[in-house]
Structures are given as C-alpha cells and as structure tokens.
Structure 1
Amino acid sequence: MNRALEKLTNILDLSDSIQDKKSKAKAYMLRAELSIEENYKSFDPQKIKSYLKRAEEIQIEINDSLGLGYNYVLQALTATRNTSYSNADKHFSDAEIIFDKYQSTDDINKLKYYRGLFYLSQGINGRAIERFENSLPINDPYQPNYLRAKVHLNLAKAYKNIKQYKDAKLNAETALKIGNSYNFPIIKLESTLIVSDTYAGLNDLENAYNFQNSYIKIKDSIYNAERMQSMAEANAYFDNEFQKRHIEELERDNNVESQKGKRNKLTSILSSALLIIISLLTISLYRNNQIKVKTNNLLLKKNSELQLAKDNAEKAMKAKAQFLSTVTHELRTPLYAVTGLTHLLLEENPSESQKEHLKSLKFSGDYLLTFINDILQVNKIEARKLAVERAPLNLKKILNDVVNSLTQTSKENNNKIVLDIDEGIPEKLIGDYLKMSQVFINLISNALKFTKDGIVNISAVIIEENDTEQTIQFEIKDNGIGISQVMQENIFDSFSQGSVQINRKYGGTGLGLTIVKSLLELLESDIQLKSKLGVGSTFCFSLVLNKMEPETISDAEIVDEEKTDLKSRGFKVLLVEDNKINQVITKKIIAKQNMTCDIADDGYQAIDYARSNRYDFILMDIHMPGISGIEATKEIRKFDVSTPIIALTAISLDDNKDDFLKDGFNEVISKPFDPEVFYKKISHILS
C-alpha cells in the first residue's frame, strides 16, 4: 500500500512536469481504487468521489472516453459499497456503452468482473459466479496478476455462500497461490480464511484448524501497529499532496485571470485573502489527517475486541447446535418404541376403552415427534446444513396435495379452503419441492388452526415472467383471530405464538413461522404479514421458479395411487439393528406384510449375513457400536451392488440424505416412521 501511494505520488509529479493530463487522471483513479479496496479501515465515499470527480473533469477535457468508462466503473463500485444500488447500476450501464463502442475486450472483461462484485454484494451468488467466470482471462496493464487473484478470490466467496465448498476451496487455493507468488498480503489473508472455512464445510477439521492458524499469523503480520501507522501516514501524505495540487491549480487559474485584467488593488486583496484561506484549509486538512491516524489505531483495537466476542459467540452457537442435535437424536430411539408399539397395539383389535387410551398415546407421540422434527429443522437452518435443491415439480399438484392433506383439519374448526391458482402457471417448473411444501403446510395449517367457522384463501398469481422463469406471488389469507401490532414484532421468533394464553389454547411448538421465514430466506425470498386483531391475517411472499422444456418428464408428477400391498410377494429381509426393542417392533411391522427377516445385532454380523444369504432388501441402522451402518454398507457393496439397502436411522444434525445415497444406500427412512409410509417406500424401491 505504501509503495503504491509512493508510486502514485511520483506519477503525479511526472505528469505535472510534462503536462500529461491523461496520466494524471489515471493516478487519481488508481488512488480511488485503492481506497475502495481498503476493507480494513472506514469507507470514505466523499474522499473517493473527490478523486473520481477530478479525474472525470480531466477526462472530459481531453476526450479520454475509455478512461471515462473506467471512471464510471469505479463510481459504480463506490455506490455499491455505499448501498446505492440504483446509482451503481446506472454507472455500470454508462461504462458498458463506452466499452462496447470501442470493442475493448480487456475493459469488457474487467467490467464483467466488477459486475460480479455488484451481484456478490447483493447476495445474488449465481449471477456473480457467472460474471466472474466470464471475465477470465482478465488483463490489465498495471495489475494483471492481482486482478486474476481477485477474480478467483471472489469466485471462492460466491461458491462458499451457496455451500459449494469444493469449488470454493479450488478457487481460494488458486488465489492463495497467486498471492504467495506475488506477495499480495490481503489476497493471502482472505483466501487463507476461505480455505479454512471450506475445509470446515467439508468436515475436514484438522485442515480447517491449520489454515485458521495461518490466517491469524498473516492477519497479525498485516495489521500490526507499526504497519498500520505507516499506511495511515502514507494515506495522509497522498491526501495532502492531492489538496496541495488542487490548491496549486486554483492558484494558477487565479494568476491567469489576474493577468487578463488590470492588477488593481482590489484584485491583490482578494488574491491574498484567497491564499490565506487556502493556507488555513491546508493546515486544517493536515490536522484532520493526524486525528484520522489516531482514530484508526483506536478502531483497530476495537475491531480486535469485537472479533474475540464474535469468536466466542460462534463457539457458543456451535455448542448449542450440537447439544440440540444430540438431544433430538437420542429422543427418537425411545420415541420409535412408543409410536411403533402403539401402532401395533391399535391393529390387534383392542377393546374400546383400550383403543381410546392408545389413540391418546399415539397423538402424544405424534405431537412429540413433530416438536423434535421442528427443533431439528431450526437447528439445521441455523447451522447452515440445508442446501437449496433444484428439481422438476408440479406447483399445482403441491398446493392441491397440501390442501387435501389438511381437509380433516379444516373440518375440525368448520373452515372452508379456497384455492385459486393462476391459469398461466405451467404444469412443470424447477424449484425445491420439499422446502416449498413445508412452507405451504406450515402457513395453511396455521391459518386453519387460528380460524373457526371461516374461510382460508390460498392464491398463486404470476407477477413477472420472461422466457426462462416466472415470479409467482403466493398469499394465504384467513379471517381468524388475527395478530395484534405488538405481537407482530416477534411472531417469527422461535417458540413464539404471540402469547402464553394463545399457546395453551391452540397448542403447537411455536416454530412453524420461524421455519417458514428461514426456508424462504434460503429460497431468496421474504415473507410479509398484514393482520388486524379480530379480523384475520394475510401472509404473502414471492418465489422465482425456472421454466423447463415441455418434453421433460418430472418425477414429481409420478403418483402412485395404488394401496400398498406386499403380502403376496413373500420378501426376505435382513434387519440390522442393535437395540432389542427396536428389533422386536420393526420385525412385527415387517411381519404384517408377510415378510420374513434375519436380525443382525451389529455391522460385522450384517456383512457375514449378506455374504452368506440372498435378501430382497436390507434395513440398516446407522449409529451402532463397533462398525457404523455406513461402513457396513460400503463393505457389502464390495461384493453385492444390486440388493437394495435402506438406511433406517434417527436423523441428526450432520445427517444428509445425499450423503447416504453416495455411500451406497438406495433410500433413507427416518425413525420413528409411519408404517404406511414405510411400506410405500419399500414397494417403490422393489418395483
């Protein structure tokens, strides 16, 4: 930084001596760019604007169009950092017109890179990645290697934001390699931190820890007090030089004007007064810069304290997430026994008095399971363990299925559900089926719960459309009890239903709206609430869904309407389960469909059984002593690649269905499960 400012000062001296205005404007723009890049100190848009304005005046004067285009790019970046996104977009468009006119490939590629920075700052990671990748190869007469490193560094940031950790790590390592080769301190610092974060995302904690230590060492070497003092003095020196040259230009202009007229006494007095004022301003600017140096040192100290507090808060959040994950996982095993035995007892023709007790027990078990699932869902969202999936779906079918599943709930409170779907919405779209279903189920079931003898309206309307995507606005409106203005402020908080009285009267976990808000944020949307106490509530949000080719077949449209019946097929099953109670329950559920099974108590026994016998499918518990279900499955796959293996597990925070499928499983069924859902999944796999 110091050397850069020293070189820029030399450029200003040389350009003044040879009257090279183009180089002078370039120096001011490079100084502005350095100020934009200074992430370690306070951002001063006014200072940057003064440099760019002076450069713009010179470029207009000498008709330097390409220089002016680059000036607009820097103005756009300044507006982006200052959150003036509309101004930023206008400046980018002005620059694009100039570069297209002159067919300047290098400048067009740089513009793509800076557009990528703009999208990255707004959280539009997909478009940012596209712009960054299209900007390569990037070239610049002054800083080609630095710009190339910045492209890979920002690609790494964007990929990390969408949890594509492998791509993020690859780009961060490329940036780090360039940074090491050419000694770019800030590149080395930021890329080392991202490499550490990506290793953490890939659960490689040892490498994550090693790179975190490297990050701390680099940070300490960059932001030591002596270096920061030197940088601040270099900044102050260049700023004073800028003001000095501006003053000298004003003085020259004043002398020229004075020579044109008669040098009378009044002119001399005014000139002297002007020089006095300018001198006072120069002294004031110098003192202000000294104050800024002291302020920067204080800010560095406060930043260190804030970083320590942030690290402690993150450790506490991680400990809380792990604790809740462990608790919810451990609760599922005994809950499986409760729900499984209750289901079996209800099917064995109990007396009416026993049936009533068993139904109450089943209701309590289902309620507890819902509560545990909600806690796990919130925990996964907070731990950033959920990723957005893009797959074919039928939006109309999703809404109809949700409404049909809640028909009984609507009858309990004598409510009517009205579904209004825009006819322009096609049968096939691309989106996240599961997360959208969760959002609709939570919002519609809430509306039905808090409405009695009323109407719940659900609408889906296209508000924007182009060749590749549709923006659809969804609205769930009821005429129920409504929500007061005071309660609306925290209605989306965890475990909040507005008041203790409402919670006791209507029941529920108080996590539904928290999950809805978090899921919509993952889908790059936001939810709005309009409500009045005693009148009703309206929840509104919009989603951008991609269109798909009409000939594409969507798995989401395949519906199995037949009742599940496996009795006639006489399947033979291997059940791998270390818990004796779970063994009994699962075996009885299997026997209900006329299936026979062998039971393995651990993973080693499961491998021996699978090698010695022929099974139609294998039910594999995951968390077992000795060897886990995942390791046992990998061993079985070495000699048997065709027998379906189904993970039968109590899902925890770190469990992910895609990971199970990569490890050789065909399906995942979470415990405790509904037997009918269990039978359907078995039938689907075996057919």
Structure 2
Amino acid sequence: MRQKMLIDRKLLVVLFTLISVVCFGQQSSRSENVQNIQIDSLLLGGIYAMEQADFESAIVNIKKAEALSIKSLNQSGEAISNQLLSKIYFERGDPKLATPLILNAIKLHQELLELDNLGQDYLIYSQILSKTGNYERALPFLENAALIFESTRDEDSRVQLATTYLYEGNILQELKNNEEALLKYQQAEAILNKTKGKHSYLLCRAFLQQGRMNFLLNQLDTALSYANKAHELSLNNNYPQLEVDGLNLLSTIYSARQEFEEAFSYLSLYNQKRSSYFGENNSTAKNVAIRNALLANINADDYDPAKRVQANKITTVLIIALFTILCLLALSLYKNNNLRAKANELLQAKNAELMIAKENAEKASVVKAQFLSTITHELRTPMYAVTGLTHLLLSENPTEEQKKHLDSLKFSGEYLLSLINNILDLNKLEADKVEVEQATFNLRKRVDDVLFALERSAQEKGNKLNLEYDEEIPDQIIGDPLMISQILINLIGNGNKFTRDGDIFIRIKQLSSNESQTYLHFEVEDTGEGISKKKQKDIFQNFTQGSVQINRKFGGTGLGLSIVKRLLTLQKSKIELESTLGKGSKFFFDIKYGLAKSKTNETEERVYEIDYEALKGKKLLVVEDNKINQMITRKILEKNEMMCEVADNGEIAIEKVRFENFDLVLMDIHMPGISGIEATQKIREFNKDLPILALTAVTIEENIDDFYLAGFNDIIPKPYKVEEFFFKIHNALKRKNVIL
C-alpha cells in the first residue's frame, strides 16, 4: 500500500511537470524540452536525497536544477529550486541564506499564479520570520497561506491548512495570546481528525500544544487529557521527540495539581527516554529531525527505503510513456497558450483598474477621517453644556421627581459622550484604538438605568420592556460598564424602533461561574418587524438597514448594530441573531466578567480625594471663546467659592497673566486668533511656574505629548465629570505648593 501511494505521488509530480514543460515550451526547440526534463530529474534527485537525510547531495542537485532553470528561462523550475533550498538552509539553522531564496520563490510563484506552491512559500517564510523573532510580521503570511489552502477542498490542502493553523498557534503563543493560540490548535485538530489517522504526527503535535495552552490557562483537567492523548499517540507511532515532550508536560501538569508522586514518576521517565533517544549519536538524531521537518508536508510516513529501487524503475517506464503521449497533445495545447496570453493581458488591465480604485479608496479614507474628527470636536462642545448644566441642576436641591429625571439625563449624557468619543469617530474603532476598561460595577444597576432611560420612548410606541434577570449573578463584577450600557441601549433601542404595541424581552442569566469570573448570557428579543434571511448577513455592517422602506419608515443611521458587533469583538464576544420576517428578532451574546475579591455596596464611581476647603478663594483664569461654556465653568467654580475671571481668546489671556496674579489657568485649545497651545508657549516665556491646564475637546489626530511639550501641566478633556475636574485642579495646585 505504501509503495503504491509513493508511486502515485511521483506520477502526479511527473505528470504536472511534463504538462508544464509542454505548455511552456510549445514553440521551443527539442533541446529546450530536454533541458526541462533534466531540471525535473535533478529536482526529484534532490527530494530523494532529502528523504535520505543526505543534505549535501540534495543541495548539489537542487542548485544544478536552479542554474539550468535560469539558463533555460524556466521560472517554475527556478521557483521550486529556491523553495527547496530555502527549506533546507532554514532547517539547518541558516535563516540568512534561506531568506533571499524564499523571497524570490514568492515573487516567481506570484507571477506564475501557482497558488499551491505560493502557499508553501508563505509557510516557509513565516517560519523564518518567527525564528528571527519577527512574530508580528510572520502572522500575515500565515493568514495568506490559510486563505490559499481554504480555497481548495482536497485532502492535501486541508492538511496544509491544519499545518498553517499549528504555525499560527505557535506564533500567538509567543505573543502571549494564549486563548487565540488555543483556538488555532483546536481548528487544526478538527481538520486532522477527519483524515482518519493518516497524519498522526501533526495530530500528536496539535494534542501536545493544546495541552500546553490549557495548562497556561490554568485548565489543568483539560490539559491533562490532551497531554495523555499526545503521549499515547507518540508511543503508538514511534515519535521520540513528541514522546519526551509529552512526558515533560505530564510531569509539569501533575506537579501543578500537587500530585507529586505522579509528577516525579513522569519526570524520571522523561529523563530516561531523553537520554536513551538523544544521549548518543546526536548528529544522526539531528539529521533525522531535520529530514522530518523538511518532509512534514509531503507525507514522510509513506516513505519506505526498501521499496525505493523497484518504485524508481516503474516510475522511469511511466515517464517515457507519459512523455510520448503528451508530445502528441502538443498541437491541441497551442491554442491554450494563446488563451492564456489573452488572460494575462486582461489580468494586467484589471490590476491597473484595481490600483486606481485603491488610490481613490485611500483618498476617501483621509476625507472621512478629517470629517469625523471635525464633527466629533463640534459635538463635544454642546455636550459640555449638557453635562455641565446637569451637574448644576443636581446641585440646586431638585425634588425627588426632578432628581430622577436629571439622573436619567446624566446617564444619557455619559452614553452620548461615549458615542461621540468611540463610535462617531469610526476611524478610531476601525483602528482598534478603543481600550476595554476594567472597573468594578453593579450590572443590575446599569441595566435598570438603561431601561429607565428608554422607558418613555417604549411607552410612546405602546411597547412594554420586560426584564428577566438571574438573581444568581454577583452584585459586583469587573469589566467595562459603559460598553455594556452602549450595547444594551443599541439592542433595546433597535427592538423598540421596529416594534409597535408589542413586547421587548431583556434576559440576562448566568451560565457558569468560579472564584475569579462569571460567564453571562444576554438576550434582547422583540415582537416587531423581523429581518429577512437575505438581510441578516449584512445587518451588522456600517450604515446598513433592512431596506430603504425600513429606513424611510423608522429612520436611524444604520450604525447601531455595527457598533454592537465592534464593542463585543473588543471584549472577545460575538453577537448572534435569530429572526423571522413579521414575527420579530432575537439578538444574543455571551460575555465573561471578572469577580471582585470582596462584595461591597459602594458605587462604581471613582473616589476622588479633594480638599474643597483648600480650593476656596483661589483665583482662576478661564480662557474660552464659547459664551455658554464660559458661564458653565464660571458657575461650577463659584459654587465652590473660587474666584474666576474669563478671557475670550489667547491674546487677552496672555495680557491678563502678564499683569495680574492667578493661581491657575484653564486654557481652551481651539480658539479664534492664536490657539491655546501658542498662548501657553508665550506665557511660559515669562512665567514658568503658573499651573496651566488644557480644558478642551481633544480629537484623535492631536498628539497628547504636544500639550505637555507646549508647557501644559495636565489635560481635562471636555465634557468631563465635575469630580475629575476639581481633582485635577486640586492636584495641579498642590504640586505647585499653592495649597498644602
């Protein structure tokens, strides 16, 4: 059986090689065809030498093939030669020699559109980059290789895809992304399990790596299960290196489980086997290891040295027969050459069109970024008025009913502020620059705030909000409270938009928990319009709605569900949808939260240590061109019995600081005339010690470091929480010894 498989593989190599010879050399002379056959013979000889671990002979044969390929303008032969040489040099520990060879192979295979060989090139180059510590550069090449192997469904490509996943997992492990690495190893195992034991070496590696990852993630039972599978498979198939690696992992896991007798037993067996396998004749062992690595992708397990001579005789006879048949087909293939030439011309024209489209897309991206940055800044200015006035109203002893509405307004203001900072600024989200906060908060209170904020709009449409909340969920959990509020507001608001005189169900239950984290399931279900199967695929894209009619009937930007998807992706979760047209929709997702070490009834707001008494009587200069913002800032300061003067622009601010004494300056950045940065630089020319704080709506293209270089002591981004506002003023005055 092994002999037959070996012969079949050789025949396939010869068949495709000879076809390429005939197609490429249709109009060439007979001597050129003979050269191409010589190239193929030298390459086969090199591969045979590699199988025998005779790497010097392999290099000689492949280099001859490379030289003959260059001389006869056989790019395919040159590319394969470069690929094989690069693989040998890399496995022998010489990445400097391997790198230029594999890069040339990539270039040639891209030009020839030989995708299978190109996928192999990407695998080799990614290993070279990983070996030299360039893990992040290696990942895109593995992703491209995976795309190539996914495009075909034959078993060899599936095995190559599994190999790619194993390499990706190794790189992600080096980058400390253990959960993502575990996912890649699981994908590799799923593919290899379908090969029915034909690729047991790769499957054993997948088991071993999953054991290591589960150990690093402190999932010791699962780690032990995979370590045992790897050890058993290595014993059954005689894989010495994997066997000793499995023994080492078993010893480590049992030690972590504090089962020290088992740990010592496996450690002793590990040392014994390691000495037995690798203690002597190290050079031979190394050559065998290199040979296995080189042949990992061409079924090295099928190789049988005892039957090689007989197989080569049969192969030689079949080569002659196949060559005779292919020569008779030469005339019919001439037409195919002409068709390929026309296809190449069409491909070049399409490439030119794509380059133009790429340039246009880049220009549009720049315009979009500029627009979003401008609109974000302009929206922050009125939001400063909303949050500031809300604070002032809350401090003026409102009635209980008024306080309830003001709290709702405050919550909505915080949500709108987050929307402005992280959502409208889509280029920030798309660049993955939004960070997930880790704060302790009360989930039930967050959900109640969301429902209260949306209750009135639901009532106006005749809808009822129904909450089903699992009381087993801990009171205090650790995660991003604002993100879950945004997600629920978008999902509930979406359900309310498309439902009339119906129900919206919000279900939150605990799936599992342990001492350090809880795993929660969220559902938002409505009885509204529903979404067709066709539209469900696109509903989470930017600016997408069910149809034009829905947009005209219900309104909206089509951003809400896209925002939900992005926010959940940041938290390593995924939004799911079930919907029937005319009957309603259900959105659901699972998410992990940490648990606080001790239960507390304290609010989730940060506690600021501020000595308000020390701030009384201090004289501040507010530099702000917006009259409403001037009034709000002045009132907030004067309520704390601080003295406040206002400057409408930077020029006035400079003169006031020059001739009057102030304890601190609050400086806006974007003003008519000179900017806040320029004004601060001029003030620093004659006053180095005066605390100056930037009170501004910072946009993403502004470099925060530039503020400090200009002479600012700190930054208060608008809109702000009043407690944070006074906290930064207090700290700035304290650092300059204005207050004790």
Normalising by the residue count of structure 1, what TM-score does the alignment of the two structures yield? 0.52
Q: Distance in 1 between matches of 2:531 and 2:488?
A: 23
**3-state SS of paired residue (1:583):** helix
Please give the per-residue CA displacement for 1:416-455, whole angstroms capped at 9, x wherever unaligned: 32333875999445xx665454323322444466666745
Q: Rate the CA distance shift 1:418–1:681 in 2: closer, same or farther, 3 A.
A: farther
Are the aligned partners of 2:379 and 2:420 in contact in 1 as well (CA < 8 Å)?
no
Q: Which residue is 1:401 aligned to?
A: 446
Q: Does 1:387 pair with 2:450?
A: no
Q: Which residue is 1:476 aligned to?
A: 523
Alignment of 1:605-684 (within 5 A): 605-606=652-653, 609=656, 618-633=665-680, 643=691, 645-649=693-697, 652=699, 654-655=701-702, 664=712, 666-670=714-718, 673=719, 678-684=721-727
Shift of 1:87: 7.8
Are the aligned partners of 2:650 and 2:679 in contact in 1 as well (CA < 8 Å)?
yes
1:527 to 575, 583, 608: 575
Q: Rate the CA distance shift 1:643–1:317 in 2: closer, same or farther, 3 A.
A: same
Are the aligned partners of 2:669 and 2:696 in contact in 1 as well (CA < 8 Å)?
yes
Q: Which residue is 2:487 aligned to?
A: 439
Are the aligned partners of 1:473 and 1:540 in contact in 2 as well (CA < 8 Å)?
no
Q: Which residue is 1:576 aligned to?
A: 623
Q: Distance in 1 between matches of 2:724 and 2:47?
A: 80
Which residue identity does 1:253 align to in structure 2? I
1:21 to 46, 49, 52: 49
Alignment of 1:173-322 (within 5 A): 253=314, 276-280=324-328, 288=336, 291-292=339-340, 294-322=342-370
**3-state SS of paired residue (1:406):** helix
Shift of 1:600: 2.4
Please give the per-residue CA displacement for 1:144-179, whole angstroms capped at 9, x wherever unaligned: xxxxxxxxxxxxxxxxxxxxxxxxxxxxxxxxxxxx
Which residue identity does 2:433 align to in structure 1? A
Shift of 1:515: 2.3
Q: Rate the CA distance shift 1:517–1:255 in 2: closer, same or farther, 3 A.
A: closer
2:465 to 386, 391, 415: 415
Which residue identity does 2:468 align to in structure 1? V
**3-state SS of paired residue (2:355):** helix
Q: Rate the CA distance shift 1:118–1:78 in 2: closer, same or farther, 3 A.
A: farther
Q: Which residue is 1:599 aligned to?
A: 646
2:149 to 82, 100, 111: 82
Are the aligned partners of 1:77 and 1:88 in contact in 2 as well (CA < 8 Å)?
no
Shift of 1:349: 12
Q: Rate the CA distance shift 1:330–1:580 in 2: closer, same or farther, 3 A.
A: same
Please give the per-residue CA displacement for 1:358-383, whole angstroms capped at 9, x wherever unaligned: x9xx99xx99x959956983343378
Are the aligned partners of 1:402 and 1:441 in contact in 2 as well (CA < 8 Å)?
no
Are the aligned partners of 1:587 and 1:597 in contact in 2 as well (CA < 8 Å)?
yes
List runs of 5+ in structure 1 lacking aligned partners: 1-5, 53-73, 97-110, 132-248, 258-270
Are the aligned partners of 2:468 and 2:505 in contact in 1 as well (CA < 8 Å)?
yes
Q: Distance in 1 between matches of 2:372 and 2:121?
A: 53
Shift of 1:621: 1.3
Q: Which residue is 1:459 aligned to?
A: 508
Shift of 1:623: 0.5
Are the aligned partners of 1:607 and 1:636 in contact in 2 as well (CA < 8 Å)?
yes
Q: Rate the CA distance shift 1:540–1:653 in 2: closer, same or farther, 3 A.
A: same
Q: Which residue is 1:377 aligned to?
A: 423
Which residue identity does 1:443 align to in structure 2? L
Q: Rate the CA distance shift 1:325–1:114 in 2: closer, same or farther, 3 A.
A: closer
Q: Distance in 2 between matches of 1:15 and 1:506?
A: 67
**3-state SS of paired residue (1:647):** strand
Are the aligned partners of 2:528 and 2:582 in contact in 1 as well (CA < 8 Å)?
yes
Are the aligned partners of 1:475 and 1:538 in contact in 2 as well (CA < 8 Å)?
no
Q: Which residue is 1:244 aligned to?
A: none
Shift of 1:306: 1.1
List runs of 5+ in structure 2 lacking aligned partners: 1-31, 51-57, 66-79, 85-101, 123-140, 186-309, 732-740
Q: Distance in 1 between matches of 2:690 and 2:424?
A: 36
Normalising by the residue count of structure 2, what TM-score does the alignment of the two structures yield? 0.49
Which residue identity does 1:322 align to in structure 2? Q
Which residue identity does 1:81 align to in structure 2? I
Are the aligned partners of 1:76 and 1:89 in contact in 2 as well (CA < 8 Å)?
no
Q: Does 1:44 pair with 2:114?
A: yes
Q: Distance in 2 between matches of 1:318 and 1:568?
A: 45
Which residue identity does 2:435 align to in structure 1? E
Which residue identity does 1:302 align to in structure 2? K
Q: Rate the CA distance shift 1:446–1:514 in 2: closer, same or farther, 3 A.
A: same
Q: Rate the CA distance shift 1:328–1:46 in 2: closer, same or farther, 3 A.
A: closer
**3-state SS of paired residue (1:622):** coil
Please give the per-residue CA displacement for 1:504-538, whole angstroms capped at 9, x wherever unaligned: 88775553223223434555654222223564432
Are the aligned partners of 1:482 and 1:535 in contact in 2 as well (CA < 8 Å)?
yes
Are the aligned partners of 1:443 and 1:476 in contact in 2 as well (CA < 8 Å)?
no
Q: Rate the CA distance shift 1:91–1:629 in 2: closer, same or farther, 3 A.
A: same
Q: Distance in 2 between matches of 1:125 and 1:659?
A: 37
Q: Rate the CA distance shift 1:326–1:47 in 2: closer, same or farther, 3 A.
A: closer
Are the aligned partners of 2:372 and 2:426 in contact in 1 as well (CA < 8 Å)?
no
**3-state SS of paired residue (2:438):** strand
Are the aligned partners of 1:321 and 1:383 in contact in 2 as well (CA < 8 Å)?
no
Q: Distance in 1 between matches of 2:465 and 2:448?
A: 12
**3-state SS of paired residue (1:82):** helix
**3-state SS of paired residue (2:150):** coil
Q: Distance in 2 between matches of 1:38 and 1:657?
A: 46
**3-state SS of paired residue (2:585):** strand
Are the aligned partners of 1:669 and 1:678 in contact in 2 as well (CA < 8 Å)?
no
Q: Rate the CA distance shift 1:392–1:284 in 2: closer, same or farther, 3 A.
A: farther
Shift of 1:297: 4.1
